[in-house]
Amino acid sequence: MMLTQREREIIALLRRDPLAGPQAIADALGSTRAAVNVHLSNLGKKGAILGRGYILREENAVVVVGGANVDVKVRSLAPVRQRTSNPGRAGTTAGGVGRNIAENLARLDTPTHLIAAVGRDAPGERLLAETAAAGVRLDHVHRSAHPTGTYTAVLDADGDLVVAVADMAATEALAPQDLHPARELIAHADMLVLDGNLPAEVLAHAMDVAHSADVPVVIDPVSAPKAALLAPLLTARRPVFALTPNLDELRALLGHPVGESEAEVTAAAGALHTRGVRHVWVRLGARGSVLSSAGEDATFLAAPPAEVADVTGAGDAMLAAFVHALLAGSDPREAARYGHAAAALTVESPATVRPDLTPRLIEDTLTRPTGPTGLTGPTGSIGSTEPTDSTGLAGPTGLTGVTGLTGPTDSTGVTGPIGPAGLTGPTESTDSTGLTGLTGPTGLTGLAGPTDSTNSTDPTGLAERDEPAGPPHPADTPA
């Protein structure tokens, strides 16, 4: 929802004195009562004020539409032996890309509503209880006839995925009519965040509702297969404020190969700009990211160094912090840096959503020393570096903005290894409901999953993750 400068001034006055009348507002602004009445009428139509009195809508409210499921991670204590029992440890956490983004936003004190499909079962009740406890508003969650979604991953002793089974029928069955009760909520939001795991018709419906109300839309494509399904929806008549693909998802969105060079990634982002996407934030894993904004030069942002405990959920924290910073007044480049800091903090925690995540913690991370740089990549490719001064600090070749500091002396920029230490099993949860690990650490320090998901060994956790669309895409893996 976009407000004029005068409308924002009126809102500020009403926050100080909700009972102020039109004449008092006019006197404060040096305007006329008639002009103020017009502005108040427009604010009512936009949903910024809710009738006489004047009751104000929540400031900087976000609506997230996406998946919510229970993640079960099982890790072998030794190399996996097929077709026999293997000793290991297990943990259960709240999951789902959309749900994780919503919880991160709520922990950053952004008013957040989640629209998701959850079964009418005990796991669903516990999932909702834990999500509500984090501060997420759940008035528009759809209670599905299908069981609450689950994602079960079996990992070997090194953290690599051996096999995963996903039951996401509840999310896959979500239909446009299930969003009808939330139309006004979406239309009055400051921003709408969409999880690419949603069916294409639901994505299209939500985008249309937002567009008709002038609500900015941010979309996480989630995976290459899901990005391919999203691609036809990206048109100039249905504008998107920001899209956050990785390289594989970028290729899927365009339907053709995209190389890793600066020129190719920038050109690919430019193609999406012509299809109505204002900001394309391409995530490059350990190397950082490239932010391309329509009509501006691309900017490279290095991934901050981090002591890795568990990479799960870092990409969700990154997007949530980006949205939070935008609504707080940051420009997209500053917001992207803020997102990188949140991701670094998340990989340093064993929890999928860091329970102590706050704006202050992120701000402190942005100002802490980064240590020596590590030169990575060949000259001319995204993330490549070359010394720029006598200190040896380096930045990305040909890209403007933030320098390419990649952290410690190894090429990944990670200051600590991902290791199996600290496996404590499923009893480490603070959840009194019995759903292990929903509100605190999962007890599976250092767990890492498939290299194409947020459970990957990518030290930033920014690789793709996905709740599978079904049999056509068996390789899809959700967060």
Residues in Cβ contact with 303 at an 8 Å cutoff, skipping those fewer than 6 apart: 285, 286, 287, 288, 289, 340, 343, 344, 406, 407, 413, 459, 460, 462
Q: From residue 168, how far is each of 110, 171, 308, 360 by CA, in Å?
A: 28, 6, 29, 36
Q: Are the C-beta atoms of residues 218 and 191 closer than 8 Å to each other?
A: yes
Q: Specify the amino acid at residue 462.
A: L
Phi and psi (nearest 5°) for 275?
A: -100, 20
CB atoms within 10 A of CB 408: 16
Give the pLDDT confidence of 27-76 residue by residue, as tens digits: 999 999 999 989 988 887 776 776 555 655 666 799 999 999 998 888 89
Q: Which helix (H) or strand (E) holds 476?
A: none
What is the reported pLDDT for 351? 84
**Mean pLDDT lowest for which of 54-58, 77-81, 131-135, 351-355?**
54-58
pLDDT tens digits for range 160-187: 778 888 888 999 999 999 999 899 889 9
**Is residue 221 a contact partner of residue 195, using CB atoms and an 8 Å limit?**
no
- E strands, 51-188, in order: 62-65, 69-76, 88-95, 112-115, 117-119, 142-144, 149-155, 161-167
> In the numeric block, which tokens belong to residue 159?
């953290």
Could you tell me if 423 and 135 are in contact, meaning their C-beta atoms sit under 8 angstroms apart? no
**More confident of the two residues 171 and 449:** 171
Q: pLDDT: is 417 or 108 the higher one?
A: 108
Distance in angstroms (rounded) separating the CA atoms of residues 344 and 341: 5
Own/partner long-range contacts of 289-295 (Cβ < 8 Å, ≥24 apart):
289/336, 289/340, 289/462, 290/265, 290/266, 290/382, 290/399, 291/332, 291/333, 291/336, 291/401, 292/265, 292/266, 293/332
What gap in Å lies between CA 27 and CA 35, rounded to an integer?
11
C-alpha to C-alpha distances, 221 to 168, 347, 387, nearest whole angstrom: 17, 21, 34
Question: Which amino acid type is present at position 2?
Answer: M
Query: What is the rounded distance in angstroms from the CA atom of residue 278 to the CA atom of residue 119?
Result: 36
Tell me the one-letter amino acid at 428.
Answer: E
Average pLDDT over residues 149-163: 83
CA distance linking residue 190 with residue 204, whole number of Å: 19
pLDDT in tens, 90-146: 999 899 999 999 999 999 999 999 999 999 999 999 999 999 999 999 999 999 999
Distance in angstroms between the alpha carbons of the first and the last residue of the chain: 30
pLDDT at position 413, please? 36
> What is residue 58's predicted lDDT score, i.e. its pLDDT?
64
Query: Could you tell me the two tokens for 376?
Result: 């990575």
Structure tokens at 414: 């990670």
Conformation bin of residue 467: beta by default, left when phi > 0, alpha when psi is -120 to 50: beta
Predicted confidence band of residue 370 (pLDDT cuts 50, 70, 90): low
pLDDT value for 54: 62
Q: What is the 3-state secondary structure (H, E, C) of 150-217?
A: EEEEEECCCCCEEEEEEECHHHHCCCHHHHHHHHHHHHCCCEEEEECCCCHHHHHHHHHHHHHCCCCE
**Poorest-confidence range of 213-217, 334-338, 371-375?**
371-375
Place of tokens 């009195």: 53
Average pLDDT, the chain: 78
Interatomic CA distance for residues 400 and 262, integer angstroms: 11
DSSP state of 261: B
Residue-wise pLDDT tens digits, 198-246: 999 999 999 999 999 999 999 999 999 999 999 999 999 999 999 999 9
- Give the tokens for residue 417: 């290894």
As a whole number of angstroms, the distance between CA 131 and CA 428 comes to 18
- The whole-angstrom distance between residue 246's C-alpha and the CA centroid of its chain comes to 13
Q: Write down the pTM of the prediction.
A: 0.68
Burial class (CB in 10 A: 0-12, 13-18, 19+), 425: middle
